[in-house]
Amino acid sequence: MTDNPTPPDITSLQHSSRDLEALPAVVADWLADREPDRGGAPTVVLSDAIEKNGQSSETVAMTAAWPGAADPERLVMRLAPTAQDVPVFTEYRLDHQYEAMRLVRDLTDVPVPVVRGIEPTGSVLGVPFLVMEHIDGVIPPDVLPYTFGDNWFADAPAERRADAQRATVRTIAALHSIPDAASVFGFLDRRTPGKTPLHRQLSWLDEWYGFARDEVGPSARADRALAWLHDNVPGGAAAAEPVLCWGDARIGNVIYRDFSPVGVLDWEMAALGPREFDLAWIVFAHRVFQSITESMGLPGLPDTLREADVVATYEDATGVQVGDLRWFHVWCAVAWSAILMRVTARRIRFGELPAGADVEENLLHNPLIDELLGDAS
C-alpha cells in the first residue's frame, strides 16, 4: 500500500467531435487544386499516429500517394477547433501561425516544418486548416508527462538530456535574434490595450483567463496571481524590447533526432514580447510536470531545465543578460490556469468529468502558484 495519490487519468483526452471519415477525399481534392502539376489528385490515407501532445488543436497525420510517384508523402494536418469542441484560446489564427513559420524558415536555420498550404476561410472543412510536411523524429511525451519515466527522453543518459536542453535553448536564442522583430512580425503584436508588447501580453492574458473562468468558475489562486501581475509589472528593458516569442516554448513541442531539434512545432501562442516570456515558459512547463510527478512519489527529472542552466545557455548564445524571471513565471502560471480550465470544460463537454467538477482539483500546477506567491505581501 502507498499513501501517494493516484495520478489523474489523462491518457486519452478527447480533443474533437469531428467525424474524420470524409476527410481524405476532401483533402485530396484540395491538394490537387493546390498542386495542379502533380498529375491529378493523390490518394490520401489517414494515419493512426494522431498527435497526443498539446490541447489547442486537432492534428491529423496522413499519407498522400500522388499519381506516378514512387512513394507516398507523409503529411500532417492541423485544424482549428470548432466552438462546440471547447477551444483553448479565444481565437485561433492559423494564418498567423502559417506566416510565422514561413518567415522563421526563410530568415533562420530554426527547423520549422515546411507548410504546403493553408485554407484560412473554413469554406472547405468548416474550419481553417493547414498542411505541413511530416518530420521524422521523437518528442518528449505529454501523456503521460515525460517526467514519469519509461520514455526515450527520461530514460536517456543525463548528458544526452542536457545536450537536448542546450540545443533547444539555443534554438530559442536564434528565434530571439531575428532582427527588427517588431516590424517583421508586427502581425503577432497583441491587439489588446497596453503601451508596450509586455503590457499587451498582460491584457491578452486578462481576456484569455476571463474567457476560461467564465466556463468553469474562478480559481482563487489564479485570481490572486493575476492581481499580483498587475501590481508588479516590470519596467526597463523587459517592458520595451520586443523579440519574436515562440510562445509555447517547451520540449514537448520539439521533434528531436539524436537529441537535437529537427522540428519546432506549435506556434499558436507566438507573439511579440520580452525574451523572458519564452525562457520562463520552458522552465515553468517542466516545473509543472516535475511537480505532478513528485506528487505521485516519483523522482522525475529534477536536474532538467533548471532556470540557472537555461539562462546560462541563453546568455552564452546571445550575449544578452536576462532579467528576473519571477514575474514571467507568474504570467505562465495564470496562462496554465487558463489552459487547464478550458481542458476541464472540454472534459465535461465529452463526459470525461461530471458537470460542476471542482476546477481547483484540475489545476495541477496550483502548488507552484503558492510557491511563487508565497512571500508576496
Residues tagged active-site:
248
* CA-based nearest residue to 363, from 343, 345, 339, 340: 340
Q: What is the largest CA-CA distance in the chain?
A: 69
Cα–Cα distance, 146 to 140 (Å, whole number): 6
Distance CA 110, CA 171 (A): 6
Write the CB contacts of 182 (distance below 8 Å, at least 6 apart in sequence): 189, 197, 242, 272
Contact between residue 200 and residue 119 where contact means Cβ atoms under 8 Å apart: no
Q: From CA 121, how far away is CA 296, in angstroms rounded?
A: 45
- Residue 268 and residue 91 in contact, taking contact as beta carbons nearer than 8 Å: no
Residue 125 in grid coordinates? 472543412
Three-state SS at 106: helix
Amino acid letter for position 243: V
Nearest to 304 by CA among 267, 250, 262: 250
Q: Scanning the structure block, which residue is given the C-alpha cell 476561410?
A: 121
